[in-house]
Structure 1
Amino acid sequence: MLRSLDIRDILIIERLELDFGAGLNVLTGETGAGKSILLDCLGFVLGWRGRAELVRQGADQGEVTAVFDLPKAHPARAVLETAGLPVGDELILRRVNARDGRKTAWINDRRASGDVLRQVSESLVELHGQQDDGGLLNERGHRALLDAFAEHPGLLIATRSAWKARASAQRQLDVARADLEAVRSEEDFLRHAVKEFDDLDPKPGEEAALDAQRRLMQGAARIREDVARGLSALGPEGAEGMMRDADRWLQGAADRAEGKLDAPLIALERAIVELGEAAQGVEEALEALDFDPRALEACEERLFAIRALARKHGVLADDLSDFAEALREKLEALDAGAEGIEDLEVELARAGAEFERASADLTKAREKAAKRLDAAMAGELAPLKMERAVFETHISPGDPGPDGRDAVAFTVATNPGAPAGPLNKIASGGELSRFLLALKVVLSRGADALTLIFDEIDRGVGGATADAVGRRLAQLAEEAQVLVVTHSPQVAARGAVHFRVAKSVSDGMTTSEVRALGTGERTDEIARMISGAEVTDVARAAAQSLLAG
């Protein structure tokens, strides 16, 4: 609920403090007194689009402060929490307009952006007038209004959930198809490359082992001849034979040498043993160096093939095995891709069928709610002297989405047999005002969180019709705070709080003033609205009758 409005140096208002009440608040005054300026000021502090130049002439800046009471469950609390702003039972909005055009906003004494300010204001105030293009006249919002009237949140939740599942299945199918198409574009390469790897079958560490083996075989060819000569020099035809001959000769002479050859013979025996070990080792080495030249050729061919494959794919030789595995996985994905896409297509069809079922249930519920809404509107239009008008909620197939596949539009025909059409194209100014009021009364459930503002919505009506408008506004005000700018005495008499807007000129400066009226002042103001500039006793009596109900 809007509790107070403080305006300083805005347009023709120098300083104004207003305290609003619950229920129906009415603002009256002569034409041009400045009633619309109050709405401009309220719109400014709420972040609405409005006049570019607001600062009062001679002032450096203009400022508007609005104070709202926030119940515990008010939707504005969630907006404030999301924006990281202080939340309490009181909400203070303040906005300043500097002379150079700069505008600055605060919410609960914290700087706030225009976007956040507008999000908060959408949960606080709703404006209705004859050119209500952003409200009930906006066809894009009619489906949501019908759903709110129907009160079928379970069907909406089911439809949104089904749409989400359908959209998810579609995304997965699209990704799978794109991936498969990308893999198919390199299918020939993959099959050829995988065959190359399968044929060669490189192993991690094999390149280093082959390189070492190749170098060993290349070196063996150069040293084998020298090793063979060395073995020959050590063998029976060489050192071993000569040492055995020396041992035989010395053994024959040892008996006659009186022990002088004992030690040399022992040393010679050791030398013969070690020489034999040396010869055996050289022989084993020679055998190791003995290889088939074709083995060197085969080693080199495989080594060069591994290195060429690594260069071809731009990887290290030791990484060829992992790279080959990745290619095999891609090829397997290609081979299994068609089957996977078939599964995803089945899932998409299942999700699509579930969405169609949920949206069909929602459509049936909307059609039933539309009939109830049309009947309720007929009941509201009759007291407003529009019993011959026809209001119809038109439901037609629309683009599928999270809220189903229905397009909803409110249409009217003002006279029997006349073609139906959109509210703002068919109804005249006065008719449009009454259509909007009736629609708002019917759709008012849950509006208690909002302050509803009606700007001269009773224009063009009078007498019993104006009285019916006043009664409907009062009825609406039983569930929500309502502010109405009116020229109708029948409407003004229904107000719980009555403000009079007046304009005065002092020292060549025009200013607008607003003040709350007491009981006697209300009688005079309503009498003025009835009779004009000269208030008569008859007008006062009529005003008292209206106030009496």
Structure 2
Amino acid sequence: MLTRLTIRDIVLIEALTVEFAPGLCVLTGETGAGKSILLDALGLTLGDRADAGLVRAGVAQGSASASFEVPPGHAARALLRDSGLDDQDELIIRRVVKADGGSRAFVNDQPVSAALLRDLGGLLVEVHGQHDERGLLNPRGHRTLLDRFARLDTAEVARLHRDWALATQALVDAEAALAADARDREWLDHAVDELTRLKPLPGEETALADARQAMLKGERLAGDLALVTEHLSDTAHGGLPALRQAARRLERLATEAPDLAAALQALDAAIDAGTRAEDMVQAVVRTLTYDPATLEATEARLFDLRGMARKHKVAVDDLAALADQLAARRAALTEGEAGLAALARARDAARMAFEAAAAALSQARQAAAGALDRAVMAELAPLKLEAARFATVVETLPPAQWGAEGADRVEFTIATNPGASAGPLIKVASGGELSRFILALKVALAAEGAATTLIFDEIDRGVGGAVAAAIGERLARLGQSAQVLVVTHSPQVAARGNAQWRITKTTEAESVRTSVAALDAVARREEIARMLSGDAVTPEARAQAERLLEGVL
């Protein structure tokens, strides 16, 4: 519900704040007083195009802010959360327009885009008037309005349509993949055969590289250790065999020369140490796994793996997965027709499920259309449109236009004269008739609207007497379930209001100002009397105004 509208330096308004009430709120005043300025300022906060002409002459910028009470669970709260904005009970929207045409927008003091304001405004406020080409007059929204009127849940139809779309896309993708594989069949066969012969394994490159490095190290050490072994075993140059031979001779000599025993002992120790060293060297030689044939085979395997990886532009470790993938593609190509047939059956089953649900939804819409037509027709006679005929058209769309909302096109049509063909609301009705059709339709749909504030801009123009009274009665009825703001010149409508404001324009020196005043009971009677009689308010007009107000109360 709109609770407050604050305007600064917009057209003729220097500074103005209006506190609004629940129910039917009536705005009255003489023609040209500036009622449209209030609606333009409110529209500015709801995302209407910013126009430099709105800025009051002589100032750098103008602004308008609107405060709303937003009930829990309202769609506007979800939009705020989705947009990363604060979700509060009070929503304050502010728009600043500069004299050069630039503008800025804020929601709860956080900067936002004008596009977000439009989305937010559409959830908070509905504006209806003779020239309104959105909302009820836009056929694109008629299907949603009918579904809300009948409380039809389209979620299952939307799910089945999504399943059908996914099944259709899966078949299309499979057909495209099959066609591509068929074009590449020769290459696919060659690649699979190559990879099958190669038999790459995950992690094989690392294992082969480590083995190759170990064998190259063994090759290098084996040569050096062979020289060491040769030196230890070389008799001619004093190797261990020569030491052992010397020890045997010294042992014979030590029996004759006891002083040689210490020398023999030292020589035996040297022989023992050399023998241990020889054993250690041989042990290392035995651990070296160098084999020329094995090294050559390892290097050849690495070369083949890395060459295949470069050919297919993948890592060596991915060759095994690639082999499985290409083999699966070849198998799918072989079994392609059977696979396509299964996908086609799944698509057809999904379509049949959607068609069944869409047909049931269409039947429900047809029944709801009849109920809506009767509800609207019941409102037309009191509005002096008893000769008119309202009809909700529900037509089946061609399959190419089916969607998540079903298979129907819905449009509200009217015929204003007996025997005349029905046509779109905006094309058939005159201005006065159109406003009354909008009101009748809105009354019928009142409980289903998302917006908590409805605005009717001079919807009673061109009518009076009983018709104006009927319009006032229906606006008051709407005011029981939503806040309704109506700009009116009709005393019968004004008398129905729960609260009333008078808009006046005054000239001071060389300046013109528009002001808004909330009216108490006495001032309301005087204003309605003015609406009845004009500038010169007569006692008869006051008495009639009193009767209008008493009749409402």
- TM-score, normalised by the number of residues in structure 2: 0.79
**Could you say which residue in structure 2 is the equivalent of 1:248?**
none
Report percent identity of matched pairs.
48
Question: Whole-Å Cα distance in 1 between the matches of residues 513 and 17 of structure 2?
Answer: 14
1:499-537, CA deviations, whole angstroms, 9 ceiling, x for partnerless residues? 111111111111111111222222222222222232223
**Which ranges in structure 2 are unaligned for 5 or more consecutive residues?**
216-292
* CA-CA distance at 1:158 after TM superposition: 1.2
Tell me, yes or no, if structure 1 residue 370 matches structure 2 residue 369: yes
Indicate the SS of the match to 1:402.
coil
1:271-330, CA deviations, whole angstroms, 9 ceiling, x for partnerless residues? xxxxxxxxxxxxxxxxxxxxxxxxx9xx999998995786466259x9879636624532
**Could you say which residue in structure 1 is the equivalent of 2:163?**
165
In the TM superposition, 1:117-132 aligns within 5 A as 117-132=117-132
Change (3 A) 1:435 1:335: same
Indicate the SS of the match to 1:136.
helix
Contact 2:188-2:330 within 8 A present in 1 as well: no
**Could you say which residue in structure 1 is the equivalent of 2:82?**
82
In the TM superposition, 1:296-375 aligns within 5 A as 311=307, 314=310, 323=319, 326-327=322-323, 329-337=325-333, 338=336, 339-375=338-374
Kindly name which structure, 1 or 2, has the bigger radius of gyration based on alpha carbons. 1
Aligned residue-pair number: 507
Change (3 A) 1:71 1:179: same
Contact 1:458-1:486 within 8 A present in 2 as well: yes
**Could you say which residue in structure 2 is the equivalent of 1:257?**
none
Tell me, yes or no, if structure 1 residue 534 matches structure 2 residue 530: no
Question: Whole-Å Cα distance in 1 between the matches of residues 332 and 177 of structure 2?
Answer: 12
* CA-CA distance at 1:177 after TM superposition: 2.7
One-letter identity of the residue aligned with 2:32:
G
Change (3 A) 1:97 1:309: closer
Contact 2:149-2:448 within 8 A present in 1 as well: no
**Could you say which residue in structure 1 is the equivalent of 2:2?**
2
1:335-378, CA deviations, whole angstroms, 9 ceiling, x for partnerless residues? 32513332222221111111111111100000000000001111
**Could you say which residue in structure 2 is the equivalent of 1:255?**
none
Change (3 A) 1:321 1:543: closer
In the TM superposition, 1:350-499 aligns within 5 A as 350-398=349-397, 399-447=401-449, 449-499=451-501
Question: Which one is further off, 177-186 or 13-22?
Answer: 177-186
Indicate the SS of the match to 1:100.
coil
**Could you say which residue in structure 2 is the equivalent of 1:69?**
69
Question: Whole-Å Cα distance in 2 between the matches of residues 131 and 405 of structure 1?
Answer: 31
Contact 1:190-1:327 within 8 A present in 2 as well: no
**Could you say which residue in structure 2 is the equivalent of 1:277?**
none
Question: Whole-Å Cα distance in 1 between the matches of residues 419 and 118 of structure 2?
Answer: 43
* CA-CA distance at 1:211 after TM superposition: 13
Change (3 A) 1:465 1:50: farther
- TM-score, normalised by the number of residues in structure 1: 0.79
One-letter identity of the residue aligned with 2:470:
A
Contact 2:33-2:505 within 8 A present in 1 as well: yes
In the TM superposition, 1:205-354 aligns within 5 A as 311=307, 314=310, 323=319, 326-327=322-323, 329-337=325-333, 338=336, 339-354=338-353
Indicate the SS of the match to 1:132.
coil
One-letter identity of the residue aligned with 1:490:
Q
1:412-463, CA deviations, whole angstroms, 9 ceiling, x for partnerless residues? 0001111111000000001000000000000000447511000011112111
Question: Whole-Å Cα distance in 1 between the matches of residues 550 and 33 of structure 2?
Answer: 27
Contact 1:448-1:480 within 8 A present in 2 as well: no
**Could you say which residue in structure 2 is the equivalent of 1:195?**
193
Indicate the SS of the match to 2:383.
coil
Question: Whole-Å Cα distance in 1 between the matches of residues 214 and 111 of structure 2?
Answer: 75
**Could you say which residue in structure 2 is the equivalent of 1:225?**
none
Contact 1:95-1:105 within 8 A present in 2 as well: yes
Contact 1:187-1:331 within 8 A present in 2 as well: no
Tell me, yes or no, if structure 1 residue 97 matches structure 2 residue 93: no
1:391-422, CA deviations, whole angstroms, 9 ceiling, x for partnerless residues? 00001122111110100000000011111110
Contact 2:375-2:444 within 8 A present in 1 as well: yes
One-letter identity of the residue aligned with 1:326:
L
Change (3 A) 1:325 1:31: closer
Indicate the SS of the match to 2:447.
coil
* CA-CA distance at 1:192 after TM superposition: 2.1
One-letter identity of the residue aligned with 2:322:
A
**Could you say which residue in structure 2 is the equivalent of 1:37?**
37
1:36-59, CA deviations, whole angstroms, 9 ceiling, x for partnerless residues? 111001111222235442211122
Say which of 491, 503, 506 aligns to 2:505.
503
One-letter identity of the residue aligned with 2:359:
A
**Could you say which residue in structure 1 is the equivalent of 2:282?**
none
**Could you say which residue in structure 2 is the equivalent of 1:22?**
22
Question: Which one is further off, 343-352 or 438-447?
Answer: 343-352
* CA-CA distance at 1:171 after TM superposition: 2.7
* CA-CA distance at 1:110 after TM superposition: 2.4
Question: How well do the aligned residues superpose, as a CA RMSD in angstroms?
Answer: 4.4
Change (3 A) 1:174 1:520: same
Question: Whole-Å Cα distance in 2 between the matches of residues 448 and 325 of structure 1?
Answer: 55
Indicate the SS of the match to 2:169.
helix
Contact 1:194-1:324 within 8 A present in 2 as well: no
